[in-house]
Amino acid sequence: MAEGDLGPLPGAFLSQLHAQHELLVTSRDPGGEGSVRMWFAAAPSGHVYLLTPSVSLKAQRWLDDPWVRLQVVGAGRGGARQEGVVELVSSAGAWADRDLLVDRFRLAGAATPEALAWMLDSGSHLLLRVGLARPHPKLAGPPPALP
Indicate whether 140 belongs to any domain: no
How far, CA to CA in Å, does 112 sit from each of 1, 44, 128?
A: 28, 20, 18
Strands 32-39 and 67-72: unpaired
Residue 147 lies in a domain: no
Helices 98-105 and 113-122 pack at an angle, to 10 degrees, of: 90
Residue 113 belongs to domain with CATH number: 2.30.110.10
pTM of the predicted structure, to 2 decimals: 0.86
Q: What is the pLDDT of residues 53-87, one digit of tens each?
A: 999 999 999 999 999 999 998 756 667 899 999 99
Please name every residue paired with 131 in a beta bridge, in sequence order, or none if there are none.
Answer: 85
SS (H, E, C) the chain: CCCCCEECCCHHHHHHHCCCCEEEEEEEECCEEEEEEEECEECCCCCEEEEEECCCHHHHHHHHCCEEEEEECCCCCCCCEEEEEEEEECHHHHHHHHHHHHHHHHHHCCCCHHHHHHHHHHCCEEEEEEEEECCCCCCCCCCCCCC
Q: Is the pLDDT of residue 140 over 60?
A: no
- Identify residue 48 by its one-letter amino acid code: V
Task: Report the Cα–Cα distance between both ends of the chain, in Å, rounded.
Answer: 34
The number of domains in the chain is 1
Residue 21 belongs to what domain range?
6-132
Residue 119 within any structural domain of the chain: yes
CB atoms within 10 A of CB 89: 22
Is 127 domain-assigned?
A: yes
Whether the predicted pLDDT of 138 surpasses 60: no
Residue 35 lies in a domain: yes
Residue 13 lies in a domain: yes
What tens digit of pLDDT does each residue of 8-65 get?
Answer: 999 999 999 988 999 999 999 888 999 999 999 999 999 999 999 999 999 999 999 9
pLDDT at 19: 84
